[in-house]
Structures are given as C-alpha cells and as structure tokens.
C-alpha cells in the first residue's frame, strides 16, 4: 500500500516537472543560432545534402567516435557477462524444426536485407539514413538467419576482423585529417564534389561505410552471443 | 502540431517511469526503460521543430535559402546518438536479466533479495 502511494507521489512530482516544461515550451518560427549556422554553412563547408549527417560525421565527429566506442564496449561486456564454462556447452542443442516458410523466406530475404543495409549507409550523406541505421538493418538480417537456424554459428574471427579494421580505419581517416586538412575528422581530405551526388561530401561516405560495417558487426556479435548462451546446460 | 508531439513524448516518458516503478517482471521493467527513452527522444526532436519547415535535407531546397526552409538538424543528430546509446543500455539490461534468470530461474524482481536492506 505504502509502495503504491510512494509511486503515485513520485509520478505526480515528475508529471509536475514535465507540465512546467510543457507550459514553458513555445513552438519556434525561426531556427536557433546553432541550427542557422549549420543551415547556412553546412553545404559549403561539408558538402553533404543531409545536414544531420554533416553534424554527426563532421561537426560532431568526435561524438560519433565515442558512440561507436560505447557500442563496442557493450558488445565486449555482453560477451564477458555471458561467458560460460566449456564443459556446459552443447554444440548442437535440440531445437524445434524451423517452419518451411521461415526457412525459405530467410534464404530469399537475407541477401536483400543486406543490400538495403549497404544502400542505406552508402547513401547516408544524401538521404535519411547512415551508418548506424544501415548497420542495424544488416544486424536484422543476421537475426533472421539466427531465427531460421538457431544453431547457426557466427564466425567470431570474421566479426572481430571486420570490426577492428573498420574501427582502425575510422580513426586513421580522422588522424589523416589533422595533417592533410583542417583538423581531426575533417572531411575535406577528398574533394567536396557537387552537392547531392554519390561521390561528394569528401570522406563522409567512406567514414559512414566503416561505421555501418562496424555497427553491423557489433550488433550481430551481440545477437550471436545471446543466441549462443542458450546452448548451455541448465 | 508540435504541442501534440511534445505532450505525447512527456506522456510516454511518464508511462515508462510508471512501468519501471510498478512492474514486477524484469523484462517489463526493461520495456519501461525503453518507453521512457522513446518519450524523451520524441520531446528532444520536437524541440528542434520549426513551424511549417521541412526536414534538413538539401535535395529540393537550395543551400542559399536553407536557413529559412528547414528544421533544426542539431537535436536530430543528438537523438540519433541517444537512440544508439539506448540500444546498448537495453541490450546490457536484457543480458543481465538473462543472467539473473540463470541464477534463480525466475524473472520476478521480488525473488532477488541479496541486496535488500
């Protein structure tokens, strides 16, 4: 009883804070100062048609580097927490037979899902999308493969290679920016090209490709580890 | 329009908080966290909204007139970061729940009393 009263009191307090914030909120008619700067100079300085990408990869590229690191740490901690003793491991756990529909659908759809994911991260500087979204789409394809065949093993060697190569390449491109262009993660390493073309915006498509591969590998690794953990004897 | 969106965001955040506080099942508590996260993200995106303007993508909009035709790209970029971090946190919580279930064969929060005082 006292628990319920406490919960209701706390919710009422937080609701009051939210109500105050809502009351103080006014819809804006013009852009704020920072947004105006990005809108006016983004096309000239970065050359990406999608300004959100310009902010994420170039203006706040260091943030994105930290974000990718956090995802990597998550994958590493999950592998560490779900570590199991080798003698408890059943290599081929008995599973319910996958339905015909899921089995054939996964074979047909998975390549298409991978292709859509790659399209999303290559076109991240032109259309809504980018490395993180594309990586998540690729991981959803891996999830479908795991669902169709629960004993499907993801090769940790391949994942580790893809992940470390793309991570190192991301940092190396950033460091090259210090020497050859204006600063860390400056995208003017390559020519900016024409706004709205596939080969434009300097190194943004290259960086986003590496981010997409890295995020896809990390999320697939998490899914694989969780699926793998179920092979343990209870 | 933006008032509807921001109040939906706040309502979702409150709903998520209620779920975190009142539910007994660990999976439902984690779902509460993700709903809370979604609500706050919606609030952040709606703060960057400018009335009657388009998404910050310069395909039809010319760069010279961009400042008068697009919404603020900054909150959208920050929300993208927040979504990715939220995904990592959710994955970690789910794995901890999995591990707790291995220990006690139960997902009820009341069966874990080791740290209770």
User: pLDDT digits over B49-64, tens only?
Assistant: 888 888 888 877 777 7
Integer Cα distance of A232 and A91 in angstroms:
9
Q: Answer whether residue A219 shows pLDDT above 70.
A: yes
Q: Answer whether residue A162 shows pLDDT above 70.
A: yes
**pLDDT bucket at A86, cuts 50 / 70 / 90:** low
Q: What local confidence, expressed as pLDDT, does residue A234 receive?
A: 53
Q: What local confidence, expressed as pLDDT, does residue A90 receive?
A: 67
Q: What local confidence, expressed as pLDDT, does residue A42 receive?
A: 76
Integer Cα distance of A48 and B95 in angstroms:
38
Contacts of A195 in chain B (CB under 8 A): 58, 63
pLDDT digits (tens, 9 = 90+) for B35-44: 999 999 999 9
Q: Which whole number is the average pLDDT over A134-162?
A: 84
Measured on CA atoms in the order A222, A223, A226, A229, is the torsion positive or negative? Answer: negative
Q: Which of A34, A74, A136, A200 to mutate to test the interface with B (most CBs of B within 10 A)?
A: A74
pLDDT digits (tens, 9 = 90+) for B66-90: 777 888 888 888 998 899 899 889 9
Of residues A92 and A118, which shows the higher confidence score?
A118
Q: What local confidence, expressed as pLDDT, does residue A233 receive?
A: 58
Is the Cβ of B73 closer than 8 Å to some Cβ of chain A? Answer: yes
Is the Cβ of B74 closer than 8 Å to some Cβ of chain A? Answer: yes
Q: What local confidence, expressed as pLDDT, does residue A201 receive?
A: 75
Q: At B16, phi and psi to the nearest 5?
A: -65, -40
Is the Cβ of B80 closer than 8 Å to some Cβ of chain A? Answer: yes
- For residue B65, give the chain A residue with the closest CA: A40
- For residue B3, give the chain A residue with the closest CA: A27
Q: What local confidence, expressed as pLDDT, does residue A203 receive?
A: 82
What integer best gives the mean pLDDT of chain A?
Answer: 83
Contact A11 B18 (CB under 8 A): yes
Q: What local confidence, expressed as pLDDT, does residue A10 receive?
A: 92
**Domain-by-domain residue ranges, chain B?**
2-111
Of A29, A39, A128, the CB nearest to B70: A39
Of residues A108 and A156, which shows the higher confidence score?
A108
Contact A11 B14 (CB under 8 A): yes
Q: Tell which B residues from 5 to 64 touch A, by Cβ distance under 8 Å.
A: 6-7, 10, 13-14, 17-18, 21-22, 47-51, 55-59, 63
- A200, B23, B43, B62 from A188: Cα distances, Å: 10, 51, 34, 21
Quick one: which H or E segment has residue A101? helix A100-122
Quick one: which H or E segment has residue A162? helix A156-180
ipTM above 0.90, yes or no: no
Contact B92 A74 (CB under 8 A): yes
Of B48, B72, B95, the CB nearest to A82: B95
Q: What local confidence, expressed as pLDDT, does residue A178 receive?
A: 82
Q: What local confidence, expressed as pLDDT, does residue B16 receive?
A: 93
Contact B50 A29 (CB under 8 A): yes
Q: Answer whether residue B31 shows pLDDT above 90.
A: yes
- For residue A79, give the chain B residue with the closest CA: B95
Number of Cβ within 10 Å of residue A107's Cβ equals 12
The pair of structure tokens assigned to B54 is 């388009």
Q: Answer whether residue A114 shows pLDDT above 80.
A: yes
Q: Answer whether residue A81 shows pLDDT above 90.
A: no
- For residue B10, give the chain A residue with the closest CA: A18
- For residue A221, give the chain B residue with the closest CA: B91
In CATH terms, the fold of domain B2-111 is: Helix Hairpins (1.10.287)
Q: Answer whether residue A16 shows pLDDT above 90.
A: yes
Number of Cβ within 10 Å of residue A173's Cβ equals 20
Q: What local confidence, expressed as pLDDT, does residue B90 receive?
A: 92
Contact A81 B96 (CB under 8 A): yes
Of A10, A31, A196, the CB nearest to B50: A31
Q: What local confidence, expressed as pLDDT, does residue A84 receive?
A: 63
Contacts of B89 in chain A (CB under 8 A): 74
């Amino acid at each position: 009883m006292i628990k319920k009263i406490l919960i209701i009191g706390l919710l009422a307090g937080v609701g009051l804070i939210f109500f105050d914030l809502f009351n103080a909120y006014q819809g804006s008619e013009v852009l704020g100062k920072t947004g105006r700067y990005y809108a006016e100079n983004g096309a000239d300085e970065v050359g990406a048609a999608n300004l959100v990408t310009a902010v994420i990869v170039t203006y706040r590229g260091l943030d994105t580097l930290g974000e990718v690191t956090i995802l990597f740490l998550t994958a590493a901690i999950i592998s560490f927490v779900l570590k199991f003793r080798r003698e408890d491991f059943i290599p081929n756990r008995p599973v319910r037979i996958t339905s015909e529909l899921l089995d054939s659908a996964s074979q047909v759809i998975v390549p298409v899902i991978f292709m859509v994911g790659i399209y999303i991260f290559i076109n991240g500087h032109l259309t809504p999308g980018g490395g993180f979204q594309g990586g998540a789409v690729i991981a959803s394809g891996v999830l479908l493969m795991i669902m169709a065949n629960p004993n499907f093993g993801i090769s940790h060697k391949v994942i580790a290679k893809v992940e470390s190569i793309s991570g190192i390449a991301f940092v190396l491109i950033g460091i090259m920016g210090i020497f050859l262009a204006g600063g860390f993660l400056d995208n003017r390493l390559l020519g900016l090209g024409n706004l709205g073309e596939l080969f434009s915006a300097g190194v943004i498509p290259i960086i986003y490709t590496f981010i997409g591969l890295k995020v896809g590998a990390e999320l697939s690794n998490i899914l694989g580890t969780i699926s793998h953990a179920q092979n343990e004897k209870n | 329009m933006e008032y509807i969106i921001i109040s939906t965001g706040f309502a979702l955040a409150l709903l998520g908080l209620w779920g975190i506080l009142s539910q007994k099942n660990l999976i439902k508590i984690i779902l509460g966290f993700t709903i809370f996260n979604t609500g706050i993200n919606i609030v952040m995106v709606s703060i960057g909204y400018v009335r009657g303007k388009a998404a910050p993508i310069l395909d039809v909009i010319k760069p010279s007139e961009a400042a008068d035709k697009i919404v603020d790209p900054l909150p959208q970029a920050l929300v993208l970061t927040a979504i990715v971090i939220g995904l990592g946190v959710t994955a970690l919580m789910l794995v901890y729940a999995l591990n707790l279930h291995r220990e006690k064969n139960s997902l009820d929060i009341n069966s874990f009393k080791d740290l209770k005082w």
